[in-house]
Protein backbone atom coordinates (compact mmCIF):
# COMPACT_ATOMS: atom_id res chain seq x y z
CA UNK A 1 0.00 0.00 0.00
CA UNK A 2 1.12 3.56 -0.60
CA UNK A 3 -0.04 6.95 0.61
CA UNK A 4 -0.53 10.22 -1.22
CA UNK A 5 0.42 13.80 -0.34
CA UNK A 6 -2.67 15.80 0.71
CA UNK A 7 -2.95 19.21 -1.00
CA UNK A 8 -3.41 22.23 1.29
CA UNK A 9 -5.39 25.43 0.74
CA UNK A 10 -4.76 27.77 -1.11
CA UNK A 11 -3.36 25.22 -3.63
CA UNK A 12 -5.31 25.92 -6.85
CA UNK A 13 -5.37 22.19 -7.72
CA UNK A 14 -8.03 21.84 -4.97
CA UNK A 15 -10.30 23.89 -7.25
CA UNK A 16 -10.27 21.39 -10.16
CA UNK A 17 -13.55 19.57 -10.90
CA UNK A 18 -13.17 15.78 -10.85
CA UNK A 19 -14.44 13.68 -13.78
CA UNK A 20 -16.62 10.56 -13.49
CA UNK A 21 -14.95 7.16 -13.31
CA UNK A 22 -15.79 5.31 -16.56
CA UNK A 23 -14.84 1.79 -15.46
CA UNK A 24 -13.93 0.41 -12.03
CA UNK A 25 -10.70 -1.41 -12.89
CA UNK A 26 -7.60 -2.39 -10.90
CA UNK A 27 -6.17 1.15 -11.18
CA UNK A 28 -9.30 2.67 -9.58
CA UNK A 29 -9.33 0.07 -6.81
CA UNK A 30 -5.64 0.75 -6.05
CA UNK A 31 -6.24 4.53 -5.97
CA UNK A 32 -9.21 4.07 -3.60
CA UNK A 33 -7.26 1.81 -1.25
CA UNK A 34 -4.27 4.15 -1.20
CA UNK A 35 -6.63 7.07 -0.49
CA UNK A 36 -8.01 5.10 2.48
CA UNK A 37 -4.47 4.50 3.77
CA UNK A 38 -3.74 8.22 3.36
CA UNK A 39 -6.94 9.17 5.22
CA UNK A 40 -6.10 6.85 8.14
CA UNK A 41 -2.54 8.21 8.26
CA UNK A 42 -3.85 11.79 8.35
CA UNK A 43 -6.45 11.03 11.05
CA UNK A 44 -9.38 11.94 8.84
CA UNK A 45 -12.84 10.35 8.50
CA UNK A 46 -13.23 11.14 4.82
CA UNK A 47 -11.07 11.95 1.79
CA UNK A 48 -11.84 12.94 -1.80
CA UNK A 49 -9.51 12.17 -4.72
CA UNK A 50 -9.22 15.89 -5.51
CA UNK A 51 -7.38 16.34 -2.20
CA UNK A 52 -4.58 14.07 -3.43
CA UNK A 53 -4.46 15.69 -6.89
CA UNK A 54 -6.41 12.96 -8.65
CA UNK A 55 -9.30 14.44 -10.63
CA UNK A 56 -11.54 11.36 -10.51
CA UNK A 57 -14.87 11.15 -8.63
CA UNK A 58 -13.68 8.83 -5.87
CA UNK A 59 -14.40 9.28 -2.14
CA UNK A 60 -13.41 7.16 0.86
CA UNK A 61 -15.07 7.42 4.30
CA UNK A 62 -14.69 5.56 7.58
CA UNK A 63 -16.68 6.76 10.59
CA UNK A 64 -16.10 3.60 12.66
CA UNK A 65 -14.45 3.60 16.09
CA UNK A 66 -11.99 0.87 15.09
CA UNK A 67 -11.22 2.35 11.67
CA UNK A 68 -12.26 -0.94 10.07
CA UNK A 69 -15.49 -0.13 8.20
CA UNK A 70 -14.44 1.77 5.06
CA UNK A 71 -16.90 3.07 2.47
CA UNK A 72 -15.63 3.39 -1.12
CA UNK A 73 -17.88 5.76 -3.09
CA UNK A 74 -17.31 5.90 -6.86
CA UNK A 75 -19.21 8.67 -8.70
CA UNK A 76 -21.19 9.70 -5.59
CA UNK A 77 -24.24 11.90 -6.19
CA UNK A 78 -26.79 13.55 -3.90
CA UNK A 79 -30.30 12.79 -5.22
CA UNK A 80 -32.41 14.64 -2.62
CA UNK A 81 -31.77 17.02 0.30
CA UNK A 82 -34.02 17.79 3.26
CA UNK A 83 -33.81 20.05 6.30
CA UNK A 84 -30.92 22.12 7.58
CA UNK A 85 -28.22 21.26 10.09
CA UNK A 86 -25.08 23.03 11.31
CA UNK A 87 -21.82 21.35 12.33
CA UNK A 88 -18.30 22.52 13.20
CA UNK A 89 -16.20 21.21 10.34
CA UNK A 90 -12.50 20.75 9.70
CA UNK A 91 -10.65 19.60 6.60
CA UNK A 92 -7.41 17.75 5.91
CA UNK A 93 -6.74 20.33 3.21
CA UNK A 94 -7.22 23.27 5.60
CA UNK A 95 -5.21 22.17 8.67
CA UNK A 96 -5.92 23.56 12.16
CA UNK A 97 -9.02 25.51 11.13
CA UNK A 98 -12.57 24.71 12.18
CA UNK A 99 -15.78 26.59 11.48
CA UNK A 100 -19.53 25.98 11.70
CA UNK A 101 -21.04 25.13 8.32
CA UNK A 102 -24.73 24.84 7.39
CA UNK A 103 -25.70 21.81 5.27
CA UNK A 104 -28.70 19.59 4.48
CA UNK A 105 -29.76 17.47 7.48
CA UNK A 106 -30.90 14.42 5.50
CA UNK A 107 -29.73 13.30 2.06
CA UNK A 108 -30.71 10.58 -0.38
CA UNK A 109 -27.53 9.64 -2.24
CA UNK A 110 -26.15 7.09 -4.68
CA UNK A 111 -22.75 5.75 -5.64
CA UNK A 112 -21.13 2.72 -7.23
CA UNK A 113 -19.15 0.49 -4.87
CA UNK A 114 -15.92 -1.36 -5.73
CA UNK A 115 -18.00 -4.42 -6.67
CA UNK A 116 -19.56 -2.27 -9.39
CA UNK A 117 -22.96 -2.29 -7.65
CA UNK A 118 -25.13 0.84 -7.63
CA UNK A 119 -25.99 1.76 -4.02
CA UNK A 120 -28.90 4.13 -3.23
CA UNK A 121 -29.44 5.10 0.41
CA UNK A 122 -30.69 7.83 2.74
CA UNK A 123 -28.79 9.14 5.76
CA UNK A 124 -28.42 11.99 8.22
CA UNK A 125 -25.95 13.01 10.94
CA UNK A 126 -22.19 12.84 10.49
CA UNK A 127 -22.35 10.58 7.42
CA UNK A 128 -24.62 13.06 5.63
CA UNK A 129 -22.27 15.93 6.48
CA UNK A 130 -19.20 13.97 5.41
CA UNK A 131 -20.71 12.94 2.07
CA UNK A 132 -21.70 16.56 1.31
CA UNK A 133 -18.21 17.76 2.36
CA UNK A 134 -16.49 15.18 0.11
CA UNK A 135 -18.71 15.77 -2.93
CA UNK A 136 -17.94 19.48 -2.55
CA UNK A 137 -14.24 18.56 -2.84
CA UNK A 138 -14.95 16.68 -6.11
CA UNK A 139 -16.53 19.91 -7.39
CA UNK A 140 -13.56 22.04 -6.33
CA UNK A 141 -15.38 23.53 -3.34
CA UNK A 142 -13.98 23.82 0.22
CA UNK A 143 -15.92 24.23 3.49
CA UNK A 144 -14.28 27.65 3.93
CA UNK A 145 -16.14 28.81 0.80
CA UNK A 146 -19.26 28.97 2.98
CA UNK A 147 -17.58 31.57 5.20
CA UNK A 148 -17.95 35.31 4.73
CA UNK A 149 -15.39 36.76 2.26
CA UNK A 150 -13.83 38.65 5.21
CA UNK A 151 -13.34 35.44 7.26
CA UNK A 152 -11.98 33.60 4.22
CA UNK A 153 -9.54 36.43 3.46
CA UNK A 154 -8.36 36.50 7.09
CA UNK A 155 -7.77 32.72 6.96
CA UNK A 156 -5.81 33.01 3.69
CA UNK A 157 -3.58 35.73 5.22
CA UNK A 158 -3.05 33.61 8.38
CA UNK A 159 -1.98 30.58 6.32
CA UNK A 160 0.31 32.68 4.08
CA UNK A 161 1.93 34.19 7.23
CA UNK A 162 2.44 30.67 8.68
CA UNK A 163 3.99 29.51 5.39
CA UNK A 164 6.39 32.51 5.41
CA UNK A 165 7.42 31.72 9.01
CA UNK A 166 7.96 28.04 8.12
CA UNK A 167 9.96 29.06 5.04
CA UNK A 168 12.22 31.34 7.11
CA UNK A 169 12.81 28.61 9.70
CA UNK A 170 13.77 25.94 7.12
Catalytic positions: 134
Is 91 among the residues that bind Zn ion (CB under 5 A)? yes
- The residue (of 73 and 91) whose beta carbon lies closer to Zn ion is 91
Question: Which of these ranges, 13-21, 24-32, 71-79, 128-136, lies near ligand K2U under the rule CB under 6 A?
Answer: 128-136
Contacts of 59 (CB under 8 A, 6+ apart): 46, 47, 48, 49, 71, 72, 73, 76, 111, 131, 134, 135, 137, 138
- The residue (of 83 and 118) whose beta carbon lies closer to ligand K2U is 83
Cite the DSSP H helix spans in the chain: 26-42, 125-138, 149-169
Q: Which long-range contacts (CB under 8 A, 24 or more apart) does 118-121 make?
A: 120/79
Minimum CB separation from Zn ion for residue 93, in Å? 5
Angle at the Cα of 75 from the Cα atoms of 127 and 99, rounded to 5 degrees: 40
Contacts of 16 (CB under 8 A, 6+ apart): 50, 55, 140
Minimum CB separation from ligand K2U for residue 164, in Å? 22
Is 91 among the residues that bind ligand K2U (CB under 6 A)? yes
Is 46 among the residues that bind ligand K2U (CB under 6 A)? yes
Minimum CB separation from ligand K2U for residue 80, in Å? 20
Q: Hey, how many other C-beta atoms are within 10 angstroms of the C-beta on 100? A: 11
Query: Taking CB under 5 A as the criterion, which residues in 101-130 touch Zn ion?
Result: none
Residue in 90, 140, 147, 155 binding ligand K2U, rule: CB under 6 A: 90
Give residues in contact with Zn ion (CB under 5 A): 91
Give residues in contact with ligand K2U (CB under 6 A): 43-48, 89-93, 129-130, 133-134, 137
Amino acid sequence: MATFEVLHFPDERLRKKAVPVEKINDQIVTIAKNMLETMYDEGGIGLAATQVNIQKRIVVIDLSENRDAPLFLINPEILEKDGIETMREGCLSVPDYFEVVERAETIKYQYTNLDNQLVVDTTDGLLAVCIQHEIDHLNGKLFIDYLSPLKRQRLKKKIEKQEKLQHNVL
